[in-house]
Structure 1
Amino acid sequence: MTRIAIFASAAALIALPTSAFAGDLSGTVNDSTARPVAGAQVVIPELGLSTVTDAQGTYRFEGLEAGEHRVAVELANDERQFASAQVPETGEAKRNIFLYSSAALDQARIGINPVEAMLAEALMARAWEDARRMTAQAETQGAMALPDLIG
């Protein structure tokens, strides 16, 4: 009878639902120009976990529960930008985070999609750079002779 009670107790413990600790979550924090951000505070608020990115912008959390986690990057101006990460039942999850620029966030505050604002900002920056390059080339070539259209 004692063996049956011990066996039943063991079976009950095995049947209890347990949280699966899947392992690690890691990635890189990049700024709006895709450069790594060193020294950024990365937080999983629901779990009370935080870490700081290294010189290459990488972060790592170990021993997380399987499932979706909301990851925040805390910025110097006391703002947070969020991303979600799915930690699998087994193995390691990788989640790179790309931060929006302050201009893109300002656009989002007035109702413009921040991804579209960020793309527009990148295109404008490239157009200005192309214009600067073309102006510099024109200045080094000297005055251009205009064709005589009168006759």
Structure 2
Amino acid sequence: MKSLNDILWSPFQRDAFAADLERFVEAHVASRGGLRGFGLKAGLALLKAAKPDLLGGALRRNAPQFIAALQPLYERFQQSREPDFSAFLQQHAAEAGAALLAVADVRIAASQNGALRSAYHKLRGSAEAEIDIAVPALGRLIRGYL
């Protein structure tokens, strides 16, 4: 049985999945309203202005760890009677979000960039809310590659 990483990050699908993942993040940010949405949009615009390939590069560097964090859920999905990984992931959205945030927490803790660590810790609570909102769409994206 292939792992989720073997499927999504295989040499045959890596580029397409990475591009779709970048579009997914951009679409999620674009869909957000209110003050949080304004902040997300402004932050992403600043990042893209400073370094246009920053988002894509960060996603490519970190995607394997985030995909691996979803592996236990993927294994449970395969053993379940649920035919749709997107629906399964939505049913376990809190667990998926916690797994994804745990990867981010480890990556940030290992960072030597104090400004990045500080910004992350200030935004961690809102990141949790954003991930919870994004999990169903992430599940649909992944489902397209299974």
Q: With the length of structure 2 as denominator, give the TM-score of the two structures.
A: 0.21
Which one has the bigger helix percentage?
2
Structure number with bigger Rg? 1
Which structure ranks higher in relative contact order (CA pairs < 8 Å, sequence separation ≥ 6)? 2
TM-score (norm. length: structure 1): 0.20
Flag the structure with higher strand content: 1
